[in-house]
Amino acid sequence: MIKMIGQRAIASILSLLVLMVLVFFLSRLTGDPAVLFLPIDATEQMKEEFRRLHGLDLPIIQQFWHYIVDLTQLDFGDSLRKARPALDVVLEAYAWTLPLALITMSLVVVAAIVLGSLAAFNVGGFFDRLVSIISLIGASAPDFWIAIVAIVVFSIGLGWVPTSGVGTPWHWILPIAVLFIRPFGLVVQVVRGSMLSALSSLYVKTARAKGVKNTRLIFVHTLRNGMLPVITVIGDQAAAMLNGAVIVETIFGFPGIGKLMIDSILQRDFNVVLAAIMITALAIFVMNILIDIAYSVLDPRIRN
């Protein structure tokens, strides 16, 4: 298992380095920050001074070298917009995104495993069809459409919850609900399919013949052997949420990493964009390693 984790870690580091190079050079193609940050009537001298102050007057290769050197010290530079360390700005945004993602994925995992397992156990019945229809609709509906409809119905129409912000627990309800729908639809389908395959195996038939109770049969004997594909899709969906849930955070004005990325790209805040992408990529790579560890725990054959 240690060898497998080491190989994955090396591959992740190489991918991170490639991503670092691509993001740095591509971000420079989005435009000149001096034009955006300075007034319209700013003189060329003022623009040159702005570029010199932020190191943007240097040749691109020299800028990249300074970036690499600073990165070895976890220094992403200062935010052009907020005049603060870019890393601090990104970590503050993650302080909002991580609880949002953790709460949502916890609800998704519990609901999908329970409902998907019960649907598989009652395959072809009314409950199975109901869960399948709901999950297919949830997996197919666009996030932005669900978010807009939710605001129109529950915020504007019924007035039950606020449209945006994070001031009270009520502000979290719509973002969590909208983020819940798509991963739930995907995970519950995978759980159902995996459980159907496991329920048809010989050891389950033997357990049934011995009179094992249905609840124990589903959640003890069958679930563990059907969890490998489920862990994969759960990890993918969790990574997508760590990536910021860009659309949902932007629509609901949620001050997370997704909204920060969009704002920073539009405002040419290069250092924040680079810091946000690098920290997000690092979090995803760590999550992938944790998924590999979970694989090896559930299936000892993977350790070899």
Could you tell me the residue ranges of all domains in the chain? Answer: 2-71, 91-267
pLDDT at 302 over 60: no
Distance CA 47, CA 36 (A): 10
Q: What is residue 1's predicted lDDT score, i.e. its pLDDT?
A: 59
Comparing 51-55, 194-198, 222-226, 274-278, which segment has the lowest mean pLDDT?
222-226
Q: What is residue 96's predicted lDDT score, i.e. its pLDDT?
A: 86
Give the torsion through C-alpha atoms of 246, 247, 249, 255, to 10 deg. Answer: 50
Distance CA 220, CA 239 (A): 27
Q: What is residue 204's predicted lDDT score, i.e. its pLDDT?
A: 65
Amino acid present at 288? N
Q: What is residue 107's predicted lDDT score, i.e. its pLDDT?
A: 92
Distance CA 242, CA 58 (A): 34
Which residue in this structure is represented by tokens 């010989």? 202
CA 25 to chain centre: 24
Amino acid present at 235? G
List 85's β-bridge partners, or say none.
Answer: 78
* Residues 6 or more apart in contact with residue 12 via CB below 8 angstroms: 285, 288, 289
CA 132 to chain centre: 24
CA 268 to chain centre: 23
170-199 and 227-242 helices, crossing angle to 10°: 160
Distance CA 41, CA 35 (A): 10
Tell me, letter by letter, the H, E, C secondary structure of the chain: CHHHHHHHHHHHHHHHHHHHHHHHHHHHHHCCHHHHHCCCCCCHHHHHHHHHHCCCCCCHHHHHHHHHHHHCCCCCCECCCCCCEHHHHHHHHHHHHHHHHHHHHHHHHHHHHHHHHHHHHCCCCHHHHHHHHHHHHHHHCCHHHHHHHHHHHHHHHCCCCCCCCCCCCHHHHHHHHHHHHHHHHHHHHHHHHHHHHHHCCHHHHHHHHCCCCHHHHHHHHHCHHHHHHHHHHHHHHHHHHHCCCHHHHHHCCCCCHHHHHHHHHHCCCHHHHHHHHHHHHHHHHHHHHHHHHHHHHHCHHHHC
pLDDT band per the 50, 70, 90 thresholds, residue 70: confident
Average pLDDT for the chain:
78
Please name which of 175, 51, 28 lies closest in space to residue 104, comparing C-alpha atoms.
175
pTM score = 0.74
Distance CA 63, CA 58 (A): 6
Q: What is the pLDDT of residues 234-256, one digit of tens each?
A: 877 887 776 657 778 888 888 88
Q: Which CATH superfamily is domain 91-267 in?
A: MetI-like (1.10.3720.10)
Encoded tokens for 96: 């909002």
pLDDT at 115 over 80: yes
